[in-house]
């Protein structure tokens, strides 16, 4: 028998939070800001932006089962049969819901930021902490000035732990998010040249990442990557913020959570660490050194927030890379007979110099025949972009990979491949990229797809998965 979903908001708690009145009582099991994804029982918040007005989609939300809607005045369309709460600013109302949810929550709150690995580490921490108590985590990468309030508004009041991702691409964005969230523990996975287009230097990025500490609750903890070249700068920032506890992780001999050894396999990794003076061994279903680093950050967070580290480490063996973030899939090649397949590594969700290097390292370790890298633009690199893409192409060629280059900077990728005497094909669109990569595939070949989200190379991954050699 399916258990009913718990009530998240009632008319009393909503109207108290946003200082408004509802015409009728209601109970909401969720919160949505997108009429296309409303579930029955949701409270719909009709946000207004420069190019859209959520008021236009209120009827769609009700048709999909929303129990009430917070709308922005003036709301001209009357729905006497539906509960509409009119406010002057729906974005403020969403933030007010977030504040109320945070105030009533007794959960231990974890915040995760970093140049790469935020979402993956958030999901690892969710899995790890769920072994110690009921755990909530923000969905996907809802990590900005809209995504975080929405995630907080969805926070149940009966969980023991909650994990949220905080993102930024400009200075001044993290501190308000941290102040809203008020975490008990924050994690900075690493600092790299991501979004460098909007910063004067990598040091400036590190300073912005340090702003996650502004909202830490008194007695809070910061988790830092001791292997990152900005560790000393971040550690100094922690002292400046008067953070009570610093837990570092990495292969550095002084790390509180120290990597002793790891074996990187094609589809998994075996890890041995020292934590709190004791050695611990565990496995990861997700391959790559970057996942090992994320696991160290995860166990440091579990230790700092008071969870069971042993149970957490055992749970990590169950975690596999999600779609778009390193998921390995065996795609049938029926023309070669039953059981014939190639390996598709789907890294299409996003890309930066650091994450592409990590993806290429996984490709190198993955057993198989030919290795093909479908590579596209890494966005927001500013003046550093041409050389970064050339270096990317050179690295792929030096590792012996065949390259399919797509995007505005495909020529720079190709130049790097040519400098290393490699094989490269420039393509004009995603369909051509899939066709070129899939045309000559043989059993046991391996293909990785990697670019920034703006290029939507998940389409290439889908085409390869759907068609194999006929994609």
Domains of the chain: 9-93 (3.40.1390.10), 105-316 (3.40.1190.10), 327-470 (3.90.190.20)
pLDDT at 340 over 70: yes
Burial class of residue 163 (count of CB atoms within 10 Å of its CB; 0-12, 13-18, 19+): buried
To the question of pTM greater than 0.85 for the whole model, the response is yes
What is the DSSP secondary structure assignment for residue 382, as one 8-state letter? Answer: G
CA distances from 197 to 167, 392, 454 (A): 16, 18, 15
Report the pLDDT value the prediction gives residue 140, as an integer from 0 to 100: 83
Helices 11-18, 90-104: crossing angle, 10 deg rounding? 110
Report the pLDDT value the prediction gives residue 4, as an integer from 0 to 100: 62
Question: Mean pLDDT throughout 80-109?
Answer: 95
Instruction: Measure the CA–CA gap between 49 and 66, rounded to whole angstroms.
Output: 21
Question: Mean pLDDT throughout 430-455?
Answer: 93
Q: In 10 A of CB 456, how many CB atoms?
A: 12
Contact 248, 226 (CB under 8 A): yes
pLDDT single digits (tens) 142-167: 999 999 999 999 999 999 999 999 99
Of 425, 443, 433, 434, the closest CA to residue 466 belongs to 434
Residue 469 pLDDT level (bands cut at 50, 70, 90): very low
**Mean pLDDT computed over every residue of the chain:** 93
Q: Provide the pairing of β-strand 245-250 with 161-165.
A: unpaired
Contact 136, 151 (CB under 8 A): no
The rounded Cα 56 to chain-centroid distance in angstroms is 30
CA distances from 47 to 43, 51, 313, 460, 468 (A): 12, 11, 41, 33, 42
Contact 109, 181 (CB under 8 A): yes
The rounded Cα 345 to chain-centroid distance in angstroms is 17
Query: Tokens 């129990």 sit at which residue?
Result: 67
What is the DSSP secondary structure assignment for residue 19, as one 8-state letter? Answer: T
Question: Mean pLDDT throughout 172-194?
Answer: 95
Which is it for the CA torsion 120, 121, 122, 127, positive or negative?
Answer: positive
Q: Provide the pairing of β-strand 27-28 with 9-10.
A: antiparallel
Report the pLDDT value the prediction gives residue 463, as an integer from 0 to 100: 95
Residue 79 pLDDT level (bands cut at 50, 70, 90): low
**355: Cβ contacts below 8 Å, ≥ 6 apart:** 116, 290, 347, 450
Contact 105, 134 (CB under 8 A): no
**Planar angle of CA 29, 32, 35, nearest 5 degrees:** 120
pLDDT at 330 over 50: yes
């Amino acid at each position: 028998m399916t258990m009913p979903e718990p009530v998240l908001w009632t008319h009393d708690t909503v109207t108290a939070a946003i200082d408004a009145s509802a015409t009728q009582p209601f109970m909401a099991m969720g919160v949505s800001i997108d009429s296309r994804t409303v579930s029955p029982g949701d409270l719909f918040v009709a946000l207004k932006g420069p190019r859209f007005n959520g008021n236009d989609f209120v009827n769609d939300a009700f048709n999909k089962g929303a129990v009430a809607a917070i709308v922005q005045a003036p709301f001209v369309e009357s729905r006497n049969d539906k509960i509409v709460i009119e406010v002057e600013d729906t974005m403020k109302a969403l933030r007010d819901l977030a504040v109320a949810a945070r105030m009533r929550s007794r959960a231990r709150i974890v915040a995760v930021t970093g140049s790469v690995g935020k979402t993956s580490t958030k999901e690892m921490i969710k899995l790890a902490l769920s072994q110690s108590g009921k755990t909530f985590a923000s969905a996907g990468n809802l990590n900005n000035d809209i995504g975080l309030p929405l995630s907080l508004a969805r926070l149940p009041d009966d969980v023991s732990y909650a994990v949220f991702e905080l993102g930024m691409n400009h200075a001044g964005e993290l501190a308000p998010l941290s102040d809203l969230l008020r975490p008990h523990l924050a994690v900075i996975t690493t600092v790299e040249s991501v979004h460098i287009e909007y910063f004067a230097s990598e040091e400036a990025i590190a300073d912005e990442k340090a702003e996650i500490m502004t909202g830490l609750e008194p007695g809070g903890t910061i988790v830092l990557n001791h292997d990152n070249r900005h560790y000393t700068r971040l550690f100094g920032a922690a002292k400046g913020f008067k953070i009570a506890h610093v837990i570092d992780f990495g292969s550095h001999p002084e790390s509180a959570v120290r990597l002793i050894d790891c074996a990187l396999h094609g589809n998994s990794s075996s890890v041995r660490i020292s934590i709190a003076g004791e050695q611990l061994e565990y496995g990861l279903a997700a391959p790559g050194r970057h996942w090992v680093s994320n696991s160290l950050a995860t166990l440091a967070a579990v230790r700092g927030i008071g969870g069971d580290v042993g149970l957490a480490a055992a749970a990590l063996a169950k975690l596999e890379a999600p779609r778009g973030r390193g998921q390995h899939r065996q795609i049938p090649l029926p023309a070669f007979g039953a059981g014939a397949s190639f390996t598709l590594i789907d890294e299409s969700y996003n890309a930066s110099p650091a994450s592409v290097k990590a993806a290429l390292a996984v490709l190198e370790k993955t057993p198989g025949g030919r290795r093909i890298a479908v590579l596209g633009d890494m966005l927001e690199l500013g003046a550093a972009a041409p050389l970064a893409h050339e270096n990317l192409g050179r690295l792929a060629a030096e590792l012996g990979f065949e390259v399919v280059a797509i995007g505005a900077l495909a020529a720079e990728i190709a130049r790097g491949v040519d400098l290393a005497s490699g094989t490269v094909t420039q393509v004009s669109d995603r369909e051509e990229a899939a066709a070129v990569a899939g045309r000559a595939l043989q059993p046991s070949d391996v293909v990785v797809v990697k670019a920034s989200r703006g290029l939507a190379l998940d389409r290439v991954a889908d085409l390869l998965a759907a068609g194999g050699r006929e994609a």
